[in-house]
Structure 1
Amino acid sequence: MTTSQEELLPTTRRALLHRIAVAQAEGRAPSLVAAVVRGGRTVWHGSRTSMDGHAPDENVQYRIGSITKTFTAVLVLRLRDEGLLDLGDPLEKHLPETGVGEATIIELLAHTSGLAAESPAPWWERTSGSLRPELPDVMGEQPFLHPSGRRFHYSNPGYTLLGALVEKLRGAPWEDVLRREVLEPLGLKRTSTRPQEPHAGGWAVHPWADAMLPEPVEDLGRMAPAGQLWSTTDDLARFAVFLAKGDDRVLSAESVREMRTPAAPPEAVDVLDGAAYGLGMQVQRRDGRLLVGHGGSLPGFLASLTLSVQDDVAAVVLANCTSGPLVALAAADLVRIVAEAEPRIPEPWRPMPAVDTAVLELAGPWYWGTNAFALRLTADGLVSLEPLSGKGRRSRFRANGDGTWTGLEGYYAGEILKAVRRPDGTVDHLDLGSFVFTRQPYDEEAAVPGGVDPDGWRGSDSF
């Protein structure tokens, strides 16, 4: 990945610089560094610092806290894709005697396991991981606060368990597996479990005075899979590209899309904020734009990675202070600035490489009762079904190779679409999860469940 700031307009670059300058000044951050990715490449990098002549660049490490969870989730999805586990498996099936009973792997990924948010005292972020050498030390005597699967409750110990699961099934330490399976294939050479020069120091800024206090740097031990990592804007920019597009060396585009899909029931306050949680990724709708990524914090550091897949824009913001700058808001604003100032140029329309006439005859209008839908064939080999009104259930479908298609999203995700033919081979209707779609509203020639009144459609004079 190369940095080419000339690819953005001067006015856009100035707006980006202004935004991080405001974040650093108003948030009173010792330093703040940011990057923007567009089209799979870093197109802008900027930084602000309280020390003249010491502006950090894209290779300076900052601690990224809970963005580590997204890396851990990738490792778990890899295990699933290799058939070593099912996300619906109870953790105890693979990692017995943890004390979490029937809590499943997907519940741990989505923070719906019911586990407590933190490990027992003392505060794990500011004390050595040696105080919690084993899993029972992390979980405590009463690990559950809520019934499993019932509500979203963010849990750091939950990701400790996922890290232990990775270690058990791979037979190697979590950090070794992470380096071998994710960091090295993606070229994330400056992402590590311990700080490597050059790196920023972490600071606490006094809330009522312009004074600073150095924060301790602790090895989190067992809690490492929840927040241990250090990284740079350059490495996280590369990681953002992976989270948008996938990489078959690490995780397929389909599995990465699954990570970005909400998997947890939102709390009432989250509904108001438009926030949700996927599998190791935060999901939020802001200013009409769907943003995914993750934030992170540890004493002395704040971090945010945010991307809009639709706009093909991502942003990373890192700061070396315990509190102050709203880095998640700043990252979202960087995405918005680029997306609005320089909208994504659509790819040229291209026809499909070959036409299957048996599928082509299905294209056009269909009716579910009296609701009008359009079925279209697209150049990527998919079939789309959407309401002509523009509102209602819609989905794309992937061919299964046997004359049926599987829904990819929304209400019809996983549902089977098939064409039901008459003995002479002509199409009678479409069947979608038992729903019947006909060429005419309640087509009397088609097999409509419940039948069609033999007298047909009528006007008021018939009543």
Structure 2
Amino acid sequence: MTSSRSPVSPAPFEELLPSTRRALLHRIAVAQSEGRAPSLVAAVARDGRMVWSGSRTSVDGHGPDADVQYRIGSITKIFTAVLVLRLRDEGLLDLGDPLEKHLPGTAAGGATIAQLLSHTAGLAAESPAPWWERTPGELRPELTDVLGSEPYLHPAGRLHHYSNPGYALLGSLVEAVRGVSWEQALRSEILQPLGLDRTGTQPAHPHAGGWAVHPWADVLLPEPSEDLGLMAPAGQLWSTAADLCRFAVFLAEGDERVLSAESVAEMRTPAVAPEAGGWDDGYGFGMQLARSGGRELAGHTGSLPGFVAGLWISVADGVAAVALANATSGPMCGSLAADLVRIVADAEPRFPEPWRPLPEVDEHLLALTGPWYWGTHAYGLRLTAERGVALAPLRGIGRASAFKAAADGTWVGLDGYYQGETLRVVRRPDGSVSHLDLGSFVFTREPYGPEASAVPGGVDPEGWRGI
């Protein structure tokens, strides 16, 4: 069955084409059948709202829709990372701070907050036995029970090694700095502002039950559902396809009530490559990063006994997808969600924003546009919105960046090689423009022009010549 329920009814032009809707339903039907999932639900958001949801088989005798809860496992880590970034943005901590500064007394106090967020602290992947996902959290009342006697497996900062205990530490960090429980902070700082009313630490009707499917027979075994205690920030949450679509929109666009667009973009920025797989996959702050079908995706997969989940966002396409199933293994919900993004983005590519002229013209800025030369490399400078500029090679590939205007008349790089670097105009005593300085690189109007003093090392006085 399919369901078109959405947080906000889309305008007619935002509805998916019938052919796209059928392709989505076919893809989840194949995933449920081949993955042998008792039930599976998926949803797609486009340009800020949910535009499709679909499901296969039933929960409690009824076809699940986008408001039925499933456990989402490690997608919980994104929520925990948002709480930590909020503390950073409020000036209550720095990502370079060692954990010990804010949460003293752990055996991992030398790890920085950034390393914990990006799984580069060198901590073990799992807590000591017994298997924490099937064990009541009350059996691990202290962080020492989560970390064990030797928490470090690798030197801090050297490589990506996924660590569930690392996110338990981040949850305790939130509690130590906020002075409230991780769950209270989660509810008041993320769930309530974003309207995620069907997301929480405990299941609420209607919700799916978790099942194990026998690998060699079509029979089921119910899985336990434990409260994970201190490990909750690594994987506790229950949610719905509709709520996760709302959350995905926030992760793509930001929301000043929770976290700015700049900070969620930082979460989606690679902090490190994983231990295997090359640069096609990576990890930011609380978010997995991948390339699939030529597009960049950000999100997370998740699993706990009885459940698997996937959430992926393509910011460039304005498309996000969620897939949830109630089986311990079988359905590949991460791959499924990525395929749903691909189906929509390929079948119905995003319309570009219409070109419009700038609202005003600054003659001084306009005079800076056009060709500039770094040595003999030709670059073009063009104006962008809000007095910004963009600099890019005129031929081939090279160091292209966009810049935003600063209050002092300079520009700060937003991306690429020059991200964070300062671009400034250098003027002669009479006020005319001599050259551009970009992080000590000199750009002149002519290649090695006659004004030799602008070029480091000077210019041969005999000028250009033949052989």
Same fold at TM > 0.5? yes
The answer as to 2:129 corresponding to 1:124 is: no
Partner of residue 46, structure 1: 54
Q: Which deviates further from its counterpart, 247-256 or 372-381?
A: 372-381
Contact kept? 1:275, 1:285, Cα under 8 Å:
yes
Q: 1:51 to 1:419 in 2, by over 3 A?
A: closer
SS in 2 for 1:181: helix
The one-character-per-residue Cα deviations of 1:406-443 (angstroms, maximum 9, x if unpaired) are 11112111111101111111111111110111111111
The answer as to 2:251 corresponding to 1:243 is: yes
Partner of residue 322, structure 1: 328
- Distance, in Å, in 2 between the alignment partners of 1:423 and 1:45 is 65
Contact kept? 1:5, 1:45, Cα under 8 Å:
no
How far is the alpha carbon of 1:4 from its aligned partner? 4.5
Contact kept? 1:90, 1:105, Cα under 8 Å:
yes
Partner of residue 374, structure 1: 380
Residue type of the partner of 1:458?
Answer: R
Contact kept? 2:386, 2:405, Cα under 8 Å:
no
The one-character-per-residue Cα deviations of 1:126-168 (angstroms, maximum 9, x if unpaired) are 1100111111110100000000101000000000010001001
Contact kept? 1:4, 1:44, Cα under 8 Å:
no
SS in 2 for 1:36: strand
**Residue identity (%):** 72
How far is the alpha carbon of 1:3 from its aligned partner? 4.6
Match of 1:285 among 283, 291, 296: 291
How far is the alpha carbon of 1:354 from its aligned partner? 2.0
The one-character-per-residue Cα deviations of 1:165-214 (angstroms, maximum 9, x if unpaired) are 10011100000000000000000000000000000000001111111110
Residue type of the partner of 2:123?
Answer: L
Residue type of the partner of 1:305?
Answer: L
Q: How many residues align?
A: 458
Partner of residue 449, structure 1: 456
- Distance, in Å, in 2 between the alignment partners of 1:266 and 1:429 is 42
- Distance, in Å, in 2 between the alignment partners of 1:424 and 1:218 is 74
SS in 1 for 2:21: helix
- Distance, in Å, in 1 between the alignment partners of 2:11 and 2:70 is 22
SS in 2 for 1:398: strand
SS in 2 for 1:386: strand
Contact kept? 2:273, 2:281, Cα under 8 Å:
no
Contact kept? 1:62, 1:232, Cα under 8 Å:
yes
Partner of residue 4, structure 2: none
The answer as to 2:292 corresponding to 1:264 is: no
The one-character-per-residue Cα deviations of 1:318-353 (angstroms, maximum 9, x if unpaired) are 000000011111111111111111110111112222
- Distance, in Å, in 1 between the alignment partners of 2:58 and 2:30 is 13
The one-character-per-residue Cα deviations of 1:378-400 (angstroms, maximum 9, x if unpaired) are 12442111111241111111111
How far is the alpha carbon of 1:255 from its aligned partner? 0.4
- Distance, in Å, in 1 between the alignment partners of 2:175 and 2:282 is 28
Contact kept? 1:116, 1:155, Cα under 8 Å:
yes
Residue type of the partner of 1:58?
Answer: A
- Distance, in Å, in 2 between the alignment partners of 1:125 and 1:118 is 10
Contact kept? 1:350, 1:379, Cα under 8 Å:
no
The answer as to 2:97 corresponding to 1:89 is: yes
The one-character-per-residue Cα deviations of 1:363-387 (angstroms, maximum 9, x if unpaired) are 1111111111111111244211111
Alignment of 1:201-240 (within 5 A): 201-240=209-248
Q: Which deviates further from its counterpart, 188-197 or 344-353?
A: 344-353
Match of 1:26 among 9, 28, 34: 34
The answer as to 2:65 corresponding to 1:57 is: yes
Contact kept? 1:385, 1:395, Cα under 8 Å:
yes
Q: 1:51 to 1:259 in 2, by over 3 A?
A: closer
- Normalising by structure 2, we get a TM-score of 0.96
Partner of residue 364, structure 1: 370
Backbone CA RMSD of aligned residues: 1.3
Unaligned runs of 5+ in 1: none
Contact kept? 1:61, 1:230, Cα under 8 Å:
yes
SS in 1 for 2:242: helix
Match of 1:435 among 434, 441, 448: 441
The answer as to 2:344 corresponding to 1:343 is: no
Q: 1:321 to 1:237 in 2, by over 3 A?
A: same
Match of 2:178 among 150, 170, 177: 170
Contact kept? 1:133, 1:222, Cα under 8 Å:
yes
Match of 2:8 among 2, 8, 31: 2
- Distance, in Å, in 2 between the alignment partners of 1:5 and 1:219 is 41
- Normalising by structure 1, we get a TM-score of 0.97
Q: Which deviates further from its counterpart, 438-447 or 288-297?
A: 438-447
Partner of residue 179, structure 1: 187
